[in-house]
Copies of this chain bind each other. A is one copy, B any other.
Amino acid sequence: MKKNEFDKVLLAHGGGGQLSDQFIHDHILPRFKNTTLTELTDAAKLNLDSKSLCFTTDSYVIKPLFFHGGNIGKLAVCGTINDLAVSGSKPVALSLALIIEEGFPFDSLEKILDSIAETASQNNVSIVTGDTKTVESGAADGIFINTAGIGVRLEGVELGFNKIAAGDVIIISGSIGDHGMTIMSQRQDIGFHSRIKSDCAALADLTCKLLTSTKGIKFMRDPTRGGLAATLNEIVRQTDLSILLNELDIPINPTVQAAADALGLDILNIANEGKFVAVVSPEIALECIRICKIHPLGIQASVIGKIVETKDVPVVEMTTKIGGRRIVQMPYGRDLPRIC
């Protein structure tokens, strides 16, 4: 890789002229090279295995940019892969759009780009198209990244809120709150962050295994912003069915719980970046857990609750550790910006 002659990003790196060109040829193409991207056309040409696709987008504005367990680049690849994965597809191609503040250190940018390349390659997805914009110092906070993604839908897999029925079982693929609490701890400098680590990971390998080797998975979602509480409340809202959760069954890293307690946060509202919630037929629940547990990203998978019919307003209700019951509400959202 050609060493950059600048140590900071200039406005001209996003101006569409010589310096933009040099940036793409020196820093983007060598990292992400594939025949589609290298053509440098206005749009990537893709030949896919199916006409039935998933398409998603996310912008990443996380602060801090580097955190224990990852950085904004790794997150931007994993997050978009996960949205494709939980929609029942095999991720194949990503776009990459950077908005960079003038003066952003080139060595940080290179670390982020390296992470993007490494994570994409580990997960067999290609970065096939992209864009770089620069804005004046003060007009953005370091770097914002958008990735959009295309996945090829797995044959015979139909996931959706409308498949969910009373009696279905809710599975979480592992411990909750790790990503959000790592970020919060780093921001607040409360001293936990050396002992906790973001779960930032790409789930497609595990979800594809589950979806192709079982029949009866109804719905999947990765509980990011808003955490498990937001995902479960969205299920209730869309299905008009209630959920009964069992707090004791929810895997939580004790240090993560301690950090949440120290900051007065409800761990159920905290973002995850390497976990999925699955709603499955009761008869395949154990098989799903078995498949998860032999995968590095599903070792702590657990059945945490079930879908139930209700005559009242449907809610998420949780049996607490001490045997009480409480309603788990949709988080309001005030505490949670820039977590991803």
A interface vs B, CB < 8 Å? 10-21, 39-61, 63, 82-84, 86-87, 89, 93, 95-99, 128-131, 133-136, 138-141, 144, 146, 148-151, 153, 159-161, 221-222, 224-226, 230, 234, 238, 269, 271, 330-339
Do B222 and A42 touch across chains, with their CB atoms under 8 A apart?
yes
Report yes or no: A146 in contact with B59, Cβ–Cβ below 8 A: yes
Given contacts A12-B333, A57-B96, A139-B141, 9 further A-B contacts (CB under 8 A): A11-B334, A11-B337, A12-B332, A13-B333, A40-B238, A45-B53, A48-B53, A59-B98, A61-B133
| B-chain residues with CB within 8 Å of residue A135 when the two chains form the complex | 61, 141, 337-338
Measured CB to CB, the nearest residue on chain B to A49 is B51
**Interface CB pairs A-B, < 8 A, 19:** A15-B334, A16-B271, A16-B336, A17-B225, A17-B226, A17-B230, A17-B336, A18-B333, A42-B222, A43-B89, A44-B55, A45-B52, A55-B93, A55-B95, A57-B96, A57-B129, A59-B146, A61-B139, A134-B337
A334 in complex: contacting residue of B12, B55, B141, B151, CB < 8 Å:
B12
Q: Is the interface of A mostly helix, strand, loop or mixed?
A: mixed
Q: A40-B238, A50-B51 are in contact. Are A225 and B333 (CB under 8 A)?
A: no
Q: Which residues of B contact A55 (CB under 8 A)?
A: 43-44, 46, 93, 95, 128-129, 148, 150
Q: How far apart sit A18 and B225, CA to CA, in the bound complex (Å)? A: 11
Taking the closest CB of chain B, its distance from the CB of A289, in whole angstroms, is 22
Residues of B within 8 A of A338 (CB): 133, 135-136, 139
Docked CA distance A86–B237 (Å): 42
User: CA of A330 to CA of B12 in the docked complex: distance in angstroms?
Assistant: 13
Distance in angstroms from A294 CB to nearest chain B CB is 25
A238 CA / B336 CA spacing, docked (Å)? 46
Q: Which residue of B lies closest to A91 (CB)?
A: B43
Partner among B17, B47, B61 whose Cβ is within 8 Å of the Cβ of A51 = B47
A63 contact set on B, CB distance < 8 A: 139
Q: Which residues of B contact A336 (CB under 8 A)?
A: 15-17
Closest Cβ neighbor of A276 among chain B residues: B42
Which of these, B13, B148, B222, contacts A57 with CB under 8 Å?
Answer: B148
Specify which chain B residues have a CB less than 8 angstroms from the CB of A332 in the assembled complex. 12, 15, 17-19
In the bound complex, how far is the Cα of B150 from the Cα of A87, in angstroms? 18
Min Cβ gap A200→B in Å is 16
Q: Write out the residue numbers on chain B whose beta carbons fall within 8 Å of the beta carbon of A18.
A: 330-333
Q: Which residues of B contact A330 (CB under 8 A)?
A: 17-18, 21
Say which residue of B43, B51, B83, B93 sits within 8 Å of A149 (CB atoms). Answer: B43
CB distance from A116 to the nearest CB of B (A): 14
Which residues on B sit within 8 Å (CB–CB) of A61? 99, 133, 135, 139-140
Nearest B residue to A162 via CB reads: B39
Complex CA distance for A146 and B226, rounded to whole angstroms: 23
Q: In the complex, which residues of chain B have a beta carbon less than 8 angstroms from the beta carbon of A19?
A: 332-333
Asked if A146 and B42 sit within 8 Å, CB to CB, the answer is no
For the complex of A and B, 9 pairs with smallest distance between CB atoms: A16-B225, A15-B333, A17-B333, A148-B148, A16-B226, A43-B56, A57-B95, A17-B331, A43-B54
Contact partners of A47 in chain B: CB under 8 A: 51-53
